[in-house]
Amino acid sequence: NANVRALAAERRMEEFASQTGGAAYIPRSVEDLDNAFAQIAADMAQQYILSYYPAADKWDGHHHVIAVSVKTRPNARVRARKGFVVKTRDRV
């Protein structure tokens, strides 16, 4: 069924966006495209890019959970990846 496939694809897109710190914009009609693009433009105008370099003892090939927040704005909406995996030093 096309509706079931579309719903499954939508859920995969939302899960992928959640895991990578992104957002899924899924317009329901052509008319919704303007709103989706406006939201994307607004999000991009308010984004920051953070870099992170793990400590030497974290180069272990395991998944490490991270949390990003804004201390001065506790109600700020933050979208960020939930963790990272770093290859072991001998595999870099």
Q: Which residues make Cβ contacts (< 8 Å) with residue 29, sequence separation at least 6? A: none
Query: What distance in Å separates the CA atoms of residue 68 and residue 23, rounded to the nearest whole number?
Result: 16
The model's pLDDT over 12-24, given as tens digits with 9 standing for 90+, comes to 999 999 888 889 9
Find the helix or strand (DSSP H, E) in which 39 lies. helix 33-45
Beta-carbon contacts of 60 under 8 Å, excluding residues fewer than 6 positions away, are: 86, 88
**pLDDT at residue number 60:** 87
Read off the pTM: 0.60
pLDDT band of 40, cuts 50, 70, 90 = very high
pLDDT digit string (tens) for 44-56?
998 888 887 888 8
Of 15, 8, 24, 25, nearest to 82 by C-alpha is 15
Q: How confident is the model at residue 72 (pLDDT cuts 50, 70, 90)?
A: very high
